[in-house]
């Protein structure tokens, strides 16, 4: 579904991504692990076109590197950024409606699906995005992306700063997304969640991929964990 080859990206003169290669299959959940600052979030931004990419990004067989952000989104990639970009002047319901790319076509998700999964959002449907809690904002950001009916969802640190109960809700949502046949590229600090739901893992270090394997292969490899993940 997604094949990234020799991906480079820069912030000014800083060379952040230095030849990233990885792939994600149909319906697969893949986690991108690594310490802070190794380029995991930049990888997602480069795929989305938010940071200019160099290299090849094939999505469903088509080259998307260099295309405009809205074209990449419309090709079927959903992106949940790290910083919960809720539109503060819109209500919860309006935020969800904004996520719909094609009003004429019924996607895999409806607003009621979202409200059934997160009853809190239904209760606060008419509240402004600026007044709901951080946890609710995280749920809303994820739900809004799903309203666009993506085939691949890239999620950046969805559990960061959330209470344990909400972390569990996020895990359930990720499982539900996978159940509907949607591929997931997950950037996550909490190793237990990544290990529980992923089919495969990539570990990043110094702007490139330093490990690739299945969950059992990763758990059997103490050296990778010590060298590239532990602080």
Note the residues at the interface with another protein (CB under 8 A). Answer: 48, 50, 68-70, 73-74, 79, 81, 85, 87-90, 94, 97-99, 101, 103, 144-145, 148
- Strand order across the 53-59 sheet: 14-24, 2-11, 53-59, 62-63
Query: Nearest distance from residue 144's CB to another protein, in Å?
Result: 7
Query: Nearest distance from residue 101's CB to another protein, in Å?
Result: 4
Question: Is the Cβ–Cβ distance between 199 and 28 less than 8 Å?
Answer: yes
**In terms of CB distance, is 99 or 193 closer to another protein?**
99
Query: Nearest distance from residue 17's CB to another protein, in Å?
Result: 18
Query: Nearest distance from residue 116's CB to another protein, in Å?
Result: 22
Question: Is the Cβ–Cβ distance between 91 and 127 less than 8 Å?
Answer: yes
Structure token pair of residue 15: 């060379």
**In terms of CB distance, is 111 or 193 closer to another protein?**
111
Query: Nearest distance from residue 95's CB to another protein, in Å?
Result: 8
> Using CA atoms, how far apart are residues 157 and 186, in angstroms rounded to an integer?
8
**In terms of CB distance, is 69 or 220 closer to another protein?**
69
**In terms of CB distance, is 79 or 218 closer to another protein?**
79
Within 8 A by CB and 6+ apart from 43, the residues are 4, 7, 9, 17, 20, 32, 187, 204
**In terms of CB distance, is 23 or 74 closer to another protein?**
74
- Nearest to 145, CA basis, from 58, 42, 220, 73: 73
Question: Is the Cβ–Cβ distance between 31 and 198 less than 8 Å?
Answer: yes
**In terms of CB distance, is 25 or 66 closer to another protein?**
66
Query: Nearest distance from residue 73's CB to another protein, in Å?
Result: 4
**In terms of CB distance, is 16 or 201 closer to another protein?**
16
Query: Nearest distance from residue 68's CB to another protein, in Å?
Result: 7
Contacts 24+ apart (CB under 8 A), 171-178: 171/196, 171/197, 172/117, 173/117, 173/139, 173/142, 174/29, 176/117, 177/146, 177/153, 178/27, 178/29
> Using CA atoms, how far apart are residues 213 and 1, in angstroms rounded to an integer?
18
């Amino acid at each position: 579904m997604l094949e990234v080859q020799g991906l480079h990206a820069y912030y000014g003169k800083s060379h952040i991504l230095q030849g990233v290669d990885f792939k994600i299959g149909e319906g697969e959940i893949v986690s991108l692990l690594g310490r802070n600052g190794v380029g995991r979030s930049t990888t997602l931004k480069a795929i989305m076109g938010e940071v200019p990419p160099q290299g090849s990004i094939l999505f469903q067989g088509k080259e998307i590197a260099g295309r405009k952000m809205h074209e990449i989104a419309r090709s079927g990639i959903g992106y949940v950024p790290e910083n919960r970009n809720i539109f503060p002047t819109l209500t919860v319901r309006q935020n969800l409606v904004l996520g719909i790319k094609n009003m004429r076509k019924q996607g895999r998700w409806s607003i009621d699906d979202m409200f059934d999964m997160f009853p809190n959002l239904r209760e606060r449907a008419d509240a402004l995005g600026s007044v709901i809690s951080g946890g609710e904002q995280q749920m809303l950001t994820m739900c809004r992306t799903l309203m666009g009916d993506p085939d691949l969802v890239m999620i950046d640190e969805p559990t960061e700063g959330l209470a344990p109960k909400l972390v569990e809700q996020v895990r359930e949502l990720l499982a539900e997304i996978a159940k509907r046949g949607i591929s997931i590229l997950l950037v996550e600090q909490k190793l237990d969640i990544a290990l529980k739901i992923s089919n495969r893992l990539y570990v990043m270090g110094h702007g490139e991929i330093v490990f690739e394997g299945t969950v059992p292969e990763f758990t059997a490899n103490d050296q990778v964990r010590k060298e590239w993940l532990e602080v």
